Structure 1
């Protein structure tokens, strides 16, 4: 592969960036909200699983009161 000069490199980068389909503001907002919702759901799921496993282990070991 032939090495391009810095000027040629930046010209090629500019051409490639022009080919990118950038998301709209609405798409970005919807995607961001969905990520936050999924983070909250995942954290609740893992909290519940951790609590149930902790309760189960405490009961098995006789530490549950």
Structure 2
């Protein structure tokens, strides 16, 4: 977390970052950004799509399955 506790600061899991800082997720708004590549998004589905290299639909399905909220 950053000093104010509003942003989760991490190494980017999609590339070989050596230190944390360029990848951040705002814990209040859900917006995320990779300042080294200009990749950004604004919701959990977008984040999952980015992290798992999926389409938005497949990311939504994966999140629903992880949370146990998918339709049967």
With the shorter chain as reference, the TM-score category is under 0.3
Q: Larger % of strand: which?
A: 2
When the two structures are superposed, what TM-score results if normalisation uses the length of structure 1? 0.26
When the two structures are superposed, what TM-score results if normalisation uses the length of structure 2? 0.23
Between 1 and 2, higher relative CO (CA 8 Å, sep ≥ 6) is seen in 2
